[in-house]
Amino acid sequence: MNRFNEDWTTKFHQGFHRVSQSLIRNLNFEFEHIKIIALLTVSFFFLCLNSCSDKPQQIHSNTFKYNLAVGLNSLDPAFSKDLAAMWACSHVYEGLFILDSNTALKPLLADSFWVEANQLNYHFKLKKGIYFHKNSCFKNTDSSRSFNAYDVAYSFLRLINPKTASPGTWVLRNKLDSLYPFQIIDSFHIMIRLRQPNAQFLQILSMPYCAIVPKEAVDYYGKTFRKNPVGTGAFAFKFWEDGEVLFLKKNPHYHIRDSEGKTLPYLDYIKITFNENKKTELFSFEKKELSFITGLEQITIQQIFSRKGQLNENWNKKVQLYKKPFLNTEYMAMLVREDMLQPSSIMRSKNLRQAINFSIDRNELAQHLKYNLVLAANKGFAPSAMPNYDSSFQGFSYHPEKAKRLLAEEEYSDKNKPTLELHINNNFVEMAELLAHQLSSAGFKVEIKLHPADMMMQLAATGQLEFFRRSWMADYPDAENFLACFYSKNGSPPNYTRFSNAKYDMLYEKLMSEMNPNIRRSCYRQLEEILVEESPIVPLFYDQTIRLVQPNIEGLSPNVLNTLDLKRVRIK
């Protein structure tokens, strides 16, 4: 350890009582009595300008370029709540683990780990010689320092601190031991204690929310840390102009090498633009101003794909197509909490909720709307590509006659149709029209209500809509992550439906601590069976990742989590 790290660690121990007690007071819910064995970093630095935030005057030929049409609000991993933030943060930051292209868990900042027999105490030996990006926040001659165990404890406590107000607090909430969550054995060995066994814990640590940040940078930049990221990742921050462009540059001291011993990454720069117009994005890709595009709009799909989901002849000659199942489910949610429903709401009736499910032809949705680039959701809520999932499970299928029979049992007829308001955001008009047609054919009277995307999210989250479109994307490849959307103790999100069922909750809580994969698979099936019976949702389709990639790009294959790992991408 160099002299700076010795001094820095000494300051940890000198300030142990004051800093740990301050943090304990801040964690005003379950951690208000935490006795932290490990001392967290104390910052003694002052704010100054970031010397690396100069906009490049020319675009280097070895620059990977992509567009985020939805924009980007923060480069703080504690706020990486959407795909855009996850992608951008993953270039700069790293966690203890990473999921590879086959969703296998691999150590990243961790060197090795083991779990004690009680399944509660997790030991992590950390890699040595890994340095944070050079930055003014580090007041030493190197403008950097090495990553160590104190950074792990600080980052996780920061994530669950109410003052951080991270939307990712839930990933560690109620999982860590309430008295002694961390024990730092030495600078590169940390033990984390859990409250109860958790089969997903290591996968959770691979999430962007759990990326490691240095306390010096958080203190130094304060509220502007979101625009001044400092991590250990393959790329470091260069320049960001809100709503226009973000540049990241190669980290010359990155700790991972390829099989030939060459330091990664191969790229020199990443350029991210924020053009909201998807037509302009497509045009830029055609002009080779973007290295790849994804998240294609319906009009683009119709323009470049055949009905069988194949590129048309013109496009097939000029791009690479990458297509892979993506752990994302598109669905219609139904509010089922009775004290939040209107007295006359049809959502009070399980029969009518089941009738809605029987009315939907998911195969038609996949074929007509998405040109077979998605998979019809005929299984359950968790996508069919989910690892360790019972593929024999069958959910709802298209049975309009069953739907009509259920309507008749509720005393509805052609002269007395149940009214259904279908709420959807402005980007999904064609989907709304097709769903409305299918429901009308089964005997419902449907009114389509369109909303801007942000308003739609707010209305859904606050329980002001009864039948509305949502989607759920996997945080990690385990069905529990999807089934959590209906656990009654979870708020909205993820439990947009306000579903509450005692048997479901009991099974879900069993699943949370069950380590046996066969028993877990059985729990998945039982939970899905309850969802089919109670029908708080209408699964529509399981997504696939579709990437159109320039011919000169190598190494950009997607995985089921649709991550964007650019460490091994080359430009020919």
φ, ψ dihedrals at 112, nearest 5° = -160, 170
Q: How far is CA 223 from CA 26, 75, 116, 228, in A?
A: 17, 12, 39, 10
What's the pLDDT at 27? 41
Give the pLDDT means over successive 10-residue stretches in the chain (572 positions): 42 42 42 40 37 61 94 96 95 96 92 96 98 96 95 97 93 91 97 95 96 98 96 97 96 95 96 94 96 91 90 92 93 97 95 98 94 93 89 92 97 95 93 97 97 91 96 92 94 93 96 92 96 97 95 91 95 94
Domain residues of the chain, as ranges?
A: 3-270+562-571, 326-545
What's the pLDDT at 54? 66
Burial readout 391-420 (b: 16 or more C-beta within 10 A, e: otherwise):
eebebbebbbebbbebbeeeebeeeebbeb
From CA 424, how far away is CA 70, in angstroms rounded? Answer: 18
Q: Exposed, middle or buried by CB within 10 Å (0-12, 13-18, 19+), for 209?
A: buried
What's the pLDDT at 388? 84
From CA 498, how far away is CA 333, in angstroms rounded? Answer: 10
What's the pLDDT at 40? 40
Q: How far is CA 125 from CA 94, 107, 192, 256, 387, in A?
A: 16, 10, 11, 17, 28
Residue pair 108/147 in contact by the 8 Å Cβ criterion? no
Tell me the two tokens of residue 217: 């940078």
What's the pLDDT at 16? 38
From CA 340, how far away is CA 466, in angstroms rounded? Answer: 9
Q: Tell me which CATH code domain 326-545 carries.
A: 3.10.105.10
Neighbours of 60 (CB within 10 A): 13
Question: Given this structure, which CATH class describes domain 3-270+562-571?
Answer: alpha beta
Residue pair 370/503 in contact by the 8 Å Cβ criterion? no
Neighbours of 312 (CB within 10 A): 11
From CA 297, how far away is CA 299, in angstroms rounded? Answer: 6
What's the pLDDT at 363? 96
What's the pLDDT at 180? 93
From CA 539, how far away is CA 278, in angstroms rounded? Answer: 27
What's the pLDDT at 174? 87
Look up the pTM and report it.
0.83
Length of the chain counted residue by residue: 572
Report the SS3 class of residue 259.
coil
What's the pLDDT at 447? 97
Longest Cα–Cα distance of the chain, Å, equals 84
φ, ψ dihedrals at 156, nearest 5° = -75, -40
Report the SS3 class of residue 443.
coil
